[in-house]
Structure 1
Amino acid sequence: MKRFKGTALVLVALLLVVGILAGCAPQQTAKQKVIGIVLPTKDEPRWIQDEARFNDALEDTDYSAEIMFSQGDPAREKQNVETLIGQGIKVLILCAHDAVAAAASAEAARDAGVKVISYDRLILDTDAVDYYVTFDSVEVGRKQGQYLVDQASGQNNPLYLYAGALSDNNSFLFFQGAWEVLQPKIADGTFVIANSTQAEALKDKNSLTRDEIANIIGQITTNWDFNTAKNLAQANLSSAPKTLKGDVFILAPNDGTARSIADTFAADPDITSYVVTGQDAEKPSVQYIIDGKQSMTVFKDVRVLVRDAINAAITYLEGGEPEATTTYNNGVKDVPSKPSEVQVVDKNNVREILIDSEYYTESDFTWPTE
């Protein structure tokens, strides 16, 4: 009996110690899931990267996010936003598939008292957008155009033009920037437009209206789709005379379409060489650059864009207003923004910009043996 009492006293003492230690341990506060994020599709590497970066950016904050994908469907995008509103979000980060159709989603969020951050692609024709997080899309186009100009010599170099989707405002901005640089070199005969009668008719005009850009994009749109890009490139090459082949220059709007277009041009026996642009620094395109199958990409450090979006969201959650250095007009409102910088990556600086910065690791790619 005495032994039992002694054992009981020891157990009580141990429980008291455990209780005291538990009371002293730091208590983990549950993260507030008040940020909703809607991205366009899981079918492009770019947006999978963004999903991972968003989760990384929120790791050391008091907040978490629900991330949903619209799979290129405006109706599903709207449904996703309504689901997030129902879950009680306070800030919506929305990357629109269709910039005009997304206005309805933004307005539904605004009407529910949710702050709306337009991410990467500007939502058009609504006053329900509070802030725009973006890279300088016109500068992206300028860098693509300048790269082609820098690689060209002589006269009458065939120039093939491709663009994104008419439903995406960024397609207009990318093309605007590229045209600003390319048009003088088209006008002086350095380049000959190979695949757009609309662009050819405007070759002496440097500043295009939105309708004029729309007419050109209507002829050269890839709709951001790899197969559409491939089929269009095949059609262009099938109808092009040999005088528009040989050493060619290609304005491709992003990395996915660049790979499809590059593969198509490489398969044509009348193509001697090609210079092709891209953007996003997707892993497959970085490998293409290393292998000499894609000429360049415009690197938009998604870590920066994601960080800017999360910082803006947290600023709103804490009652502030995000910093703005410019505005973008969406047809109804001048939306405040602070655009992030972009960089050109080619085989000469791919290690420095993408590996040394730890955006990717060296083991992500196959490198030529020295």
Structure 2
Amino acid sequence: MLFGSCSEGGDSQRSHGRLIKIGFSLDSVVVERWERDREEFITHARSLGAEVNYRFAVADARKQVEDINELLDDGVDALVVVPNDAQALQGVLKRAANMDVPVISYDRLILDSPVSAYVSFDNVEVGRLMAEGMIKHAGFDSRVLIINGGAKDNNSRLLRRGIAEVLSPYINRGMIRIAGEITPDDWYTSLIEDDLEEYIREEKLDGIIAANDLFADSAIQILARYRQAGDVVVVGQDADLIACQRLVEGIQHRTIYKPIDRLARQAAETAFNLAVGEKLHSSRTVDNGYARIPAVIVEPVAVEKDNLEETVIADGFHTREEVYRNRE
């Protein structure tokens, strides 16, 4: 746990009978997982006795600044932010600091701004697990295309670092070759599809490392048009339902499961605790360019066809009926 509570009794005592208002600013809900984050966060915050006021920035950094200003104007006691642009929030978050409103950077690290806590997954480890999956399934002497995440997202850099830690020694020895990299400005499939199709059409690829399962889905659809689906190794992350179904079908080879319910609950507890004035107790910190901030980091899990049952299905992330729908 990130916090140690100095108070006793129920949450109503901790808030002195006052309704706690938490603002939740999300970048977008284009990716499947963000709806799950939102729903779990709201459910847990309400169980603690808090009200959640949320906004979607539709992947627009300027709109996110407007959203956060609105939440501050509404009198929220704490802010939880999934940044669209990690470096675009300095002004509005300084306003939050001046108003003594704690800010939790959720999933993606906000850079160069005052932040009270960071709640996320180990994104470097996500990259490592993806690269290890590529080696396992594509082997050596393979040509690999890397589809990076949105350029404005600090997680994309962490993910790429993890991929490089695993692949670089083999690249340096000529055992793996990088056919190319695609780096979109944001997490939209429309920003990668033209380049992706050109690589698939022109290059003989053995594998594609996709920054998330949405990008992996685009890759598989294009591979299918060129009758290469299942022959080219594809790895992604987020354990989206379609990715898990494709693991069963053998046309995606690995996804990375990040226990979103656990992360969302931790973020809700962190926001509530800070809102009622409790202090942070954390053995781990991260540097966001402004200060070292307390962090709680949840470990990701590699998922393949042979461990679906004990991971995403056992956790109730997806049901067995959903995952095996196309095979039963």
Instruction: Please name the residue that 1:204 is paired with.
Output: none
Q: Tell me if the contact between 2:150 and 2:183 (Cα under 8 Å) persists in the aligned partners.
A: no
Question: SS of the residue aligned with 1:285?
Answer: helix
Q: Structure 1 pair 172/288, CA: closer, same or farther in 2 (3 Å)?
A: same
Equivalences for residues 185-264 of structure 1 within 5 A: 185-196=170-181, 219-221=182-184, 223-240=186-203, 244-245=204-205, 248-264=206-222
* Residue 269 (structure 2) pairs with residue 283 (structure 1): no
* Residue 285 (structure 2) pairs with residue 327 (structure 1): yes
Deviation at 1:334, TM superposition (A): 1.5
Letter in 2 for 1:331: G
Equivalences for residues 10-25 of structure 1 within 5 A: none
Letter in 2 for 1:187: N
* Residue 93 (structure 2) pairs with residue 130 (structure 1): no
Distance 2:51 2:232 in 1: 45
Equivalences for residues 345-364 of structure 1 within 5 A: 345-364=303-322
Q: Structure 1 pair 81/299, CA: closer, same or farther in 2 (3 Å)?
A: same
Instruction: Please name the residue that 1:39 is paired with.
Output: 26
Distance 1:195 1:271 in 2: 19
Instruction: Please name the residue that 1:304 is paired with.
Output: 262
Q: Which moved more, 1:304-313 or 1:289-298?
A: 289-298
Question: SS of the residue aligned with 2:149?
Answer: coil
Segments of structure 1 that go 5 or more residues without pairing to the other structure are: 1-28, 197-218
Of 49, 52, 59, 2:36 maps to: 49
Equivalences for residues 149-188 of structure 1 within 5 A: 149-155=135-141, 157-188=142-173
Q: Structure 1 pair 340/148, CA: closer, same or farther in 2 (3 Å)?
A: same
Q: Moved runs in structure 1, 4+ residues, more than 6 A?
A: none
Letter in 2 for 1:302: I
RMSD between aligned residues: 2.1
Distance 2:100 2:147 in 1: 40
Aligned residue pair count: 313
Q: Tell me if the contact between 2:81 and 2:104 (Cα under 8 Å) persists in the aligned partners.
A: yes
Instruction: Please name the residue that 1:65 is paired with.
Output: 52
Q: Structure 1 pair 147/323, CA: closer, same or farther in 2 (3 Å)?
A: farther
Q: Tell me if the contact between 1:227 and 1:260 (Cα under 8 Å) persists in the aligned partners.
A: no
Deviation at 1:350, TM superposition (A): 1.1
Q: Structure 1 pair 272/75, CA: closer, same or farther in 2 (3 Å)?
A: closer
Letter in 2 for 1:322: L
Instruction: Please name the residue that 1:13 is paired with.
Output: none
Deviation at 1:269, TM superposition (A): 4.4
TM-score calculated relative to the size of structure 2 = 0.89
Question: How far does the alpha carbon of each residue in 1:265-298 deviate from its partner, in whole angstroms, 9 at most, with x for none?
Answer: 2322477711111111122222222222221111
Q: Tell me if the contact between 1:299 and 1:345 (Cα under 8 Å) persists in the aligned partners.
A: yes
Higher RCO structure (Cα 8 Å, ≥6 apart): 2
Distance 1:257 1:144 in 2: 14
Larger radius of gyration: 1
Question: SS of the residue aligned with 1:194?
Answer: strand
Q: Which moved more, 1:289-298 or 1:335-344?
A: 289-298
Distance 2:172 2:166 in 1: 11
* Residue 104 (structure 2) pairs with residue 141 (structure 1): no
Q: Tell me if the contact between 1:135 and 1:342 (Cα under 8 Å) persists in the aligned partners.
A: yes
Q: Tell me if the contact between 2:245 and 2:326 (Cα under 8 Å) persists in the aligned partners.
A: no
Q: Structure 1 pair 55/364, CA: closer, same or farther in 2 (3 Å)?
A: farther
Q: Tell me if the contact between 1:31 and 1:64 (Cα under 8 Å) persists in the aligned partners.
A: no
Segments of structure 2 that go 5 or more residues without pairing to the other structure are: 1-15
Letter in 2 for 1:123: I
Question: How far does the alpha carbon of each residue in 1:181-200 deviate from its partner, in whole angstroms, 9 at most, with x for none?
Answer: 0111212222111124xxxx
Of 64, 80, 83, 1:96 maps to: 83
Question: SS of the residue aligned with 1:147?
Answer: helix
Identity %: 28
Question: SS of the residue aligned with 2:171?
Answer: helix
Question: SS of the residue aligned with 2:238?
Answer: coil
Q: Structure 1 pair 364/195, CA: closer, same or farther in 2 (3 Å)?
A: same
Q: Tell me if the contact between 1:40 and 1:47 (Cα under 8 Å) persists in the aligned partners.
A: no
